[in-house]
Copies of this chain bind each other. A is one copy, B any other.
Amino acid sequence: MLDSCTFSGFRRIIFATLMAVSVSISAQDDLVWNVPDADNTVYLQLQEGTVVIELNPTFAPKTVEHFKKLLEEQFYRGMSFYRVIDGFVAQGGDESDIDGSSTKTLKAEFEISWPLKPKDKEEAKDWLPMSWTAVQKDDMFAPYTGFIDGFPAARDKKKAGKVWLTHCPGTVAMARNNDPDSSGTDFYIVIGQAPRYLDRNLTVFGRVVWGMDVVQRIKRGPTLKNGIIEEDLKRTWIKRMRLASTLEQDEQLDIWVADTNNRGFKKYLQERRNRSHKFFHHKPPRVLDICQVPVPARLEKNPS
């Protein structure tokens, strides 16, 4: 038990494994919370509840633009998650990726070049460097991992090298065919241990900021049949999928997401990296898996 560890209005006795894991109280106090931009926030409504997805137009501008058009058309309404493999991904859409019928194909947006300060003085004046909160050097899959405005990311070693969003639980990306430029309408959400080998091979364009518990309730298909769910009744259906900014104020959820550029978040990372609590009989290596660092989020109240 950790007597030093208290929550206001919450039972005082907390067992040790918790501490090992969660946002410690001090770090939690230091976090800075942001409201996601409603124009880049998607509400995916399922029977099981609502999932909130933050889009990333910095890394996938064309895909995000295209996706927003689809939302405007209510394209996904009444579609389903037709391919769901537990521990891997839940894939939804119109199944055009299966029969190759997709006509709305998109150019790959797998990675971007690390943005350097423009040489032109006029252009450089308003220029802001890309935020980068370092997490790990040399994880198995990339030379560097870190957070960019809440999104888990990785980059290579060159100063003007590439940077990409990583496949972690909650990552939202476009499905595709063998052709890198063949994404159409079908998307997937990562629901299991990070399939990092997919990094730089698919267009990641969003992340789940709220409702992963809802995502985890999406009905699975048979793993040995690649997760395809043949029977309609065994699928999870999309009731609606809409951009938050197109909804009335009272329909919007009051979601707050921790700022990953802030000092409080860096402290939180440091505490996770350096497990100094007496609970740790065997001191863990001082490393962090970028996909094992949840970005805290909270829902203040449900809409009236």
Contacts and interface: CB of A to CB of B under 8 A. Distances in A.
Interface of A: 1-2, 7, 10-11, 13-18, 20-23, 28, 83, 85-89, 91, 97-100, 108, 110, 136, 139-141, 168-169, 175-178, 180, 188, 191-202, 212-213, 216-217, 219-220, 223-228, 272, 275, 278-282, 284-285, 287, 289, 291-292, 294, 296, 298
Given A87-B294, A226-B14, A169 B140 contact: no
A286 to B, nearest CB: 10
A198 B200 CA distance: 30
A285 to B, nearest CB: 6
Contacts of A10: 225, 228
B99 A284 contact: no
Contacts of A198: 17, 20, 284
Given A13-B99, A178-B1, A180-B281, A86 B195 contact: no
The 9 closest A-B pairs by CB, nearest first: A197-B284, A200-B282, A213-B220, A216-B216, A18-B226, A193-B292, A180-B281, A140-B287, A86-B213
Contacts of A177: 1, 15-16
Given A201-B284, A202-B17, A298-B224, A178 B140 contact: no
Contacts of A223: 22, 294, 296
B169 A15 contact: no
A100 B13 contact: yes
A87 B169 contact: yes
A297 to B, nearest CB: 8
17 contacts: A2-B178, A10-B225, A13-B99, A17-B176, A21-B195, A22-B85, A86-B213, A87-B212, A136-B140, A140-B287, A141-B287, A193-B289, A193-B292, A197-B284, A200-B282, A201-B280, A213-B219
Most buried by B among A13, A188, A193, A279: A193
B17 A281 contact: no
